Structure 1
Amino acid sequence: MTRSLKVSPEYIQKVKSALQANGYPSQQSLASGVGLALSTVKNFLAGKPVEYLNFIEISEKLGCDWQKIADKQPGNGTSSTKNETSPFITGLPIIQPHQFFGREKELKRLFNLLKRHPLQNAAIIGKRRIGKTSLLHYLKSITTAPIEQLRPNQKSDWLQNPEIYKWIFVDFQDSRMASRENFLGYILESLGMQLPNPCNLDNFMDLLSGNLRNPTVILLDEIGVGLQRCPQLDDEFWETLRSLATNQTDGNLAFILATHESPIDLARSNGHSSPFFNIFGYTATLGSFKEQEAQELIASSPIPFPEDDVEWIIQQSQHIPLLLQILCREKLFTLEDRDDNNWREEAMEQIQPFMHLLD
C-alpha cells in the first residue's frame, strides 16, 4: 500500500484558498502551525506527493476532508489511516487521535479548565517518555477530529463549541523558538495576525491586548529546554506572557505546559524568578495507565493476543504506556511473522532502556 498522498488536481486551488481562510497568512505560517518543513507544505499545495500522515495533518489544519481531496488515480491509494499506520507507536509522540489511549481523568480535568470562562492554566508533569507530548497533541486535535477517524465510542465532545478554539503548539526543542522574535511571530501568525515591525514584546502586547476574541490555548512543550538554553527568553519575556494571560485578554487565553518537574522548581533551578511560573493552578501528574486503559490499548492489536500473553504484558509493563507499546509491538511482530519463539526474551531486551519508568 502507498504511504504517500497528493491533492487531486481539481482541489489544488481550493486548498490554496483555504490557507488564508483558516488564518494562515503564508505557507511558512502553516508549516509552523503543523510542525512540518516548508517544503512539505509547498509540495502539498502544489499537488505533489507527501507522506500520508502529513497529508492528513495539513488537510485538517485547512479544514479539508483529506479523503475527498486526495488524488484517487491508480497508484495514489487512499487507504484509511488505521490500515496505514502502525498500531503501536514507540519512538515518536502520538499525533493521530485514534491511536491515543488512556488519560481519561487528566483529560476531564484539563478540559474542565478550558470549557468555562476564564480559561485556566495547567501543568502536565511526568518523567521523560511518559506521554506528555502525546497528551498535548491530543488536547489540540481530539475535539475537532472527524468522527470517522476515531475509534468506536472514543469521546471527543469535551468542549461545547470546539470550532471557536485556537490551539497553538510550541516545541522548545525547535531551535527557532529560542529567538524571542521568532516565538512572538509564530504566535501571531498562528492567530492569523500580521506581524508588527519590529516584532518585540511591546508591539506583541499591543496587538493581543483586548483583541483576543476566541478562546486560545498555547501548549508549551519541553519548556525546560526554553529555560535552560534560550537566553532571550528571560524573566521580562515570561512576565509579559503572565500579564497577557492574567490581565490583557479577558480570560480568553490559557497556557498548558509540559515538564518533568513543577514549573516553580524548574524555573528556580534555572535561575528564573518570573511569577509566570506560579499561575499554573492545576497539575496533571502522568504515571501508569489504569488497568482498563492498558487492556484497551492491548486490545487494539489488529491480531488478538493470547490471554496468557496479555497477562504477561500487563505484568511486565506495570501499565506504563511506553512499555505497553513496546511489548505489544514485539508480540504483534511475532504473530505477523508466525514465529513465536523467544519473543518474550526479545521484548524484555527492548524495554530495558526504559526500565527507569517503573521506579
Structure 2
Amino acid sequence: MGRSLKVSQEYISRVKSSLQRNGYPSQQALADDAGFSLSTVKNFLNGKPIDHLNFIELCEKLGLDWQEISKTELISDDISLENSPFITGTPITHPRYFFGREKEVKRLFNLLKRHPLQNAAIIGKRRSGKTSLLHYLKTITTTPVNLLRPAQKSDWLRYPEHYQWVFVDFQDSRMASQEYLLRHILEGLEISLSGDCNLDRFMDIVSSKLNTFSIILMDEIGTALDRYSQLDDDFWSSLRSLGTNQTRGKLAFILAAHESPIELSKNTGHDSPFFNIFGYTTVLGALTETEALELINSSPISFAQEDIEWILERSQCHPFLLQILCREKLWSLEDGEIAEDWKEEGLREINPYLYLL
C-alpha cells in the first residue's frame, strides 16, 4: 500500500483555473516543466490519486496549498488499475479489463482442461499483449463473478480450484540465478524444500510431490536464453523431462516470446529439446472489430459514433493503440473539451508504436 493524494472535489475547478494563471498554456506545458508524464498531470487536474510527492510538486508549480486542497488515500497498485478504464504501458493484471483474444483463450484452455496437459507458445511483437494474456489465463477462472464484466466468460476449466499457476518474469534479473528461479517455481507449486536447491533436488522433489495440475507461465523467455548463463541446455532439458516424463501429465509450460521457441533457441545458441515441445503456437495481432467495440464501449462516458469509427480506423483494432486513443478521448470528455485536440494528442502518442500495424 502506498500513500497517494488527490484534489478534493470542491477544489478541482480552482486547480484547473490555476494552470493559465501561472503561465502554463496547456497541460502538456505543465507536464514538461515538472518532468512528469501528461497522464500524471491529467490525473492531478481531474481529482484522481497520484503519488504524494508528485502532488506536492505540482501544487508548488501552481501556487496551491497542497494541504488545503488534498485528500489522502491509501491505494494499492491493483486498486489503481481497477479504477483505470483504459490501461497503457503496463500489463493488464485484472481480468475485468482484459478484452478480446477469445479464439486464443479458448484454444489455450482446451490444451489445459484435458489430461495430459499440453504446452503452448504465445508469440507477438512488443506491446502486443503477451504478458496481459498470461495474467488473464492465470486469474480468469478463479476471479469472483461479481468482479468481472457482465456475461464475461470465466468457466474455462471444470475444476479451476485443482490448478496451480506459476508466473515467471524473465525480465526480473533475479531469475538469472538458477537456484532463485527453482525456489520461485517451488513456492508457486506450494512445495517446500529446505537446504540447498540445485537442479537434481528440484527434479526429485517435483517429480515425487507434484499432485496438482500445474502450469508454469514463462514471460520474455528470450531474455533468459540471451542473457542468463546459468540457464543452460542441461537446465532446459531437465524441464522438458519433468514435463513430459516425470509428472504424469500434470505439468505444462506456456511461454511468451517475440519469435517461436525453435527460432529463439537457434538464434541464441541453445540446442535443448525443450524448445520442441510446444505443439500449439498462437501469434497475437489485432482484435476483431466486435472485440474492439467491446473495449471502446467499456468507457464510463460514451463516445460519439464518429469518434468510435475514427478510433477503429486509426488503431486498426490493435489493443494497445485502442487503449491509447480511448484514453485520450475519455480524458477530453472528462475535461469538458469540445475541440478535436485529443485526436492530435492520440496520434502523437501512438506514433512510436505504428510498427504494431
State whether TM-score is above 0.5: yes
Q: What residue in structure 2 maps to residue 150 of structure 1?
A: 148
Select which of 211, 230, 241 maps to 2:239.
241
SS at match of 1:216: strand
Matched AA of 1:148: N
Matched AA of 1:301: S
* TM norm structure 1: 0.77
C-alpha distance in structure 1 between counterparts of 2:79 and 2:73, whole Å: 17
1:84 Cα deviation from its structure 2 partner: 5.4
Q: What residue in structure 1 maps to residue 297 of structure 2?
A: 299
C-alpha distance 322-76 of structure 1, shift in aligned 2 (>3 A): closer
Matched AA of 2:356: L
C-alpha distance in structure 2 between counterparts of 1:180 and 1:287, whole Å: 33
C-alpha distance 197-81 of structure 1, shift in aligned 2 (>3 A): closer
RMSD: 2.0
1:340 Cα deviation from its structure 2 partner: 3.1
Q: What residue in structure 1 maps to residue 64 of structure 2?
A: none
Do the aligned partners of 1:210 and 1:250 also contact (CA within 8 Å) in 2?
A: no
Q: What residue in structure 1 maps to residue 354 of structure 2?
A: 355
1:81 Cα deviation from its structure 2 partner: 5.3
Do the aligned partners of 2:285 and 2:318 also contact (CA within 8 Å) in 1?
A: yes
Q: What residue in structure 2 maps to residue 184 of structure 1?
A: 182
C-alpha distance 128-84 of structure 1, shift in aligned 2 (>3 A): closer
Do the aligned partners of 1:144 and 1:162 also contact (CA within 8 Å) in 2?
A: yes
C-alpha distance in structure 2 between counterparts of 1:299 and 1:4, whole Å: 31
SS at match of 2:350: helix
The CA deviation string for residues 72-123 of structure 1, in whole angstroms up to 9 with x for no partner, is xx97799x95995110001100001100000000000000000000000000
Q: What residue in structure 2 maps to residue 218 of structure 1?
A: 216
* TM norm structure 2: 0.78
C-alpha distance in structure 2 between counterparts of 1:307 and 1:186, whole Å: 48
Q: State the aligned residue count.
A: 288
1:188 Cα deviation from its structure 2 partner: 1.0
Q: What residue in structure 1 maps to residue 285 of structure 2?
A: 287
Select which of 272, 276, 287 maps to 2:274.
276
1:343 Cα deviation from its structure 2 partner: 1.6
1:153 Cα deviation from its structure 2 partner: 0.2
C-alpha distance in structure 1 between counterparts of 2:192 and 2:294, whole Å: 45
Map 1:77-226; keep pairs closer than 5 Å: 85-226=83-224
Do the aligned partners of 1:196 and 1:203 also contact (CA within 8 Å) in 2?
A: no
Q: Does 1:252 align with 2:268?
A: no
Provide the identity percentage. 62
C-alpha distance 4-197 of structure 1, shift in aligned 2 (>3 A): closer
The CA deviation string for residues 203-256 of structure 1, in whole angstroms up to 9 with x for no partner, is 001101142110000000000000011000000000000000000000000000
C-alpha distance in structure 2 between counterparts of 1:343 and 1:175, whole Å: 38
SS at match of 1:209: helix
C-alpha distance 239-75 of structure 1, shift in aligned 2 (>3 A): closer
C-alpha distance in structure 2 between counterparts of 1:246 and 1:105, whole Å: 26
In structure 2, stretches of 5+ residues that fail to align are 4-48, 50-71
C-alpha distance 235-318 of structure 1, shift in aligned 2 (>3 A): same
Matched AA of 2:107: R
C-alpha distance in structure 1 between counterparts of 2:301 and 2:193, whole Å: 51
Matched AA of 1:352: N
Matched AA of 1:249: T
Q: What residue in structure 2 maps to residue 35 of structure 1?
A: none
Do the aligned partners of 2:109 and 2:156 also contact (CA within 8 Å) in 1?
A: yes
C-alpha distance in structure 2 between counterparts of 1:211 and 1:333, whole Å: 52
Do the aligned partners of 2:81 and 2:87 also contact (CA within 8 Å) in 1?
A: no
SS at match of 2:122: strand
C-alpha distance in structure 1 between counterparts of 2:244 and 2:292, whole Å: 38
Matched AA of 1:262: S
Moved more, 122-131 or 80-89: 80-89
The CA deviation string for residues 318-355 of structure 1, in whole angstroms up to 9 with x for no partner, is 00000000000000010000113222111100100100
Q: Does 1:316 align with 2:314?
A: yes
Structure with max Cα Rg? 2
C-alpha distance in structure 2 between counterparts of 1:125 and 1:84, whole Å: 27
Matched AA of 2:141: T
Q: What residue in structure 1 maps to residue 345 of structure 2?
A: 346
C-alpha distance 75-298 of structure 1, shift in aligned 2 (>3 A): closer
In structure 1, stretches of 5+ residues that fail to align are 6-50, 52-73
